[in-house]
Amino acid sequence: MDLSMAGKPRAEHGDERRGDNRIECVFLTCLQSDFSFLSTVLYYSGIRMHRADTLEEADFLLTVTSSTVFLSDI
């Protein structure tokens, strides 16, 4: 663990590691397990996932999070 980051909020020091290259993504899926796995794997690559259960919720999340990627589970 990098001690220089101790005591800082997680989101703050997470942004320092990734810089401004973070990608926001909305994933429309009804399967929580698929979302959790994918979200965890992609988090350290600088990709932040937001889960939506309905198309309306996905549309809302795309707007409020300024997401640039939309994924859908078939």
Q: Can you give the pTM of this predicted structure?
A: 0.60
Helix (H) or strand (E) holding 70: strand 69-72
Residues with Cβ within 8 Å of 50's Cβ and at least 6 positions away in sequence, in order, are 24, 25, 26, 27, 61, 65, 67
Residues with Cβ within 8 Å of 24's Cβ and at least 6 positions away in sequence, in order, are 48, 50, 65, 66, 67, 68, 69
Six-digit token string for 9: 């909020």
Q: What residues make up the domain containing 62?
A: 3-72
Q: How does pLDDT run along the chain (74 residues), one tens digit per residue?
A: 344 444 434 444 444 444 456 889 898 888 888 788 888 888 888 888 899 999 999 999 999 998 888 888 76
Number of structural domains in the chain: 1
